Amino acid sequence: MLESLKEELVALHLELPRNRLTVWTGGNLSGRDTATGLVVIKPSGIRYEDLRRDHMVVVDLDGRTIEGDLRPSSDVHTHLYIYRHRGDVGGVAHTHSAYATAFAAVRQPIPVVLTAIADEFGGPIPCGGFAPIGDESIGRIVVEGIGTSPAILPAPATASTLMPSSGPRSWPPCSSPCEAPPSSTTARRSACRTGRSPAA
């Protein structure tokens, strides 16, 4: 079920530690299948280098496991809240990059100080409030605080990025999240170090 989406997400998860956006098992990505409305998300506690397609968990928007033997990420309720309240979102990236975490820890938005940030985000990346992990609270903060930005820093320690639901789960103008055009590679790496995931 949703095998191509699972493969895509496994490949994107491997990019997170490569780009120093997270370590160990922290952070995660999910994608929503527009045809079924089902969501594929990383399981809890699996290290990125060990992640395989058959580890991925398929859930419905109420959090019921549809397919998978492992427990979905502890952030599943955050992701599902976002999907239920933002029909335009086809994917969510949750990272722990050092620079985004620093901004979130001091509860400051990431300002537009480079053209790469302006090109990728169109403005500053807002910082939302604090919420505990494990329920819909972080999702609520993301939905309430993100505005028109494709990314937000839920204080104090993470970055979340939303991806459009129409077409591939990527940031425009990419045709595929794994295949950034050469002209934007430097911009994306620069943006990644400020909290933007290559997956979103």
Residue 78 in contact with residue 22, Cβ under 8 Å? Answer: no
Question: What does the alpha-carbon distance between residue 109 and residue 50 come to, in Å, rounded to a whole number?
Answer: 34
Residue 188, pLDDT score: 35
Residue 156, pLDDT score: 54
CA distances from 87 to 103, 165, 181, 191 (A): 28, 7, 27, 25
Band the pLDDT of 129: cuts 50, 70, 90: confident
Q: Please say if the pLDDT value at position 147 is more than 70.
A: yes
Question: What does the alpha-carbon distance between residue 162 and residue 18 come to, in Å, rounded to a whole number?
Answer: 20
Sequence-distant (6+) residues with CB within 8 A of 155 are 104, 105, 107, 127, 128, 129, 130
What does the pLDDT look like over 82-104, one tens digit per residue?
A: 999 999 899 998 888 888 888 88
Residue 5 in contact with residue 30, Cβ under 8 Å? Answer: no
Band the pLDDT of 155: cuts 50, 70, 90: low
**Fold held by 3-192:** L-fuculose-1-phosphate Aldolase (3.40.225)
Where exactly are the structural domains of the chain? 3-192
Rg (CA), the chain: 15
Closest-CA residue to 154 (of 84, 200, 91, 96): 96
Mean pLDDT across 3-16 = 95
- AA letter at 177: P
Residue 100 in contact with residue 194, Cβ under 8 Å? Answer: yes
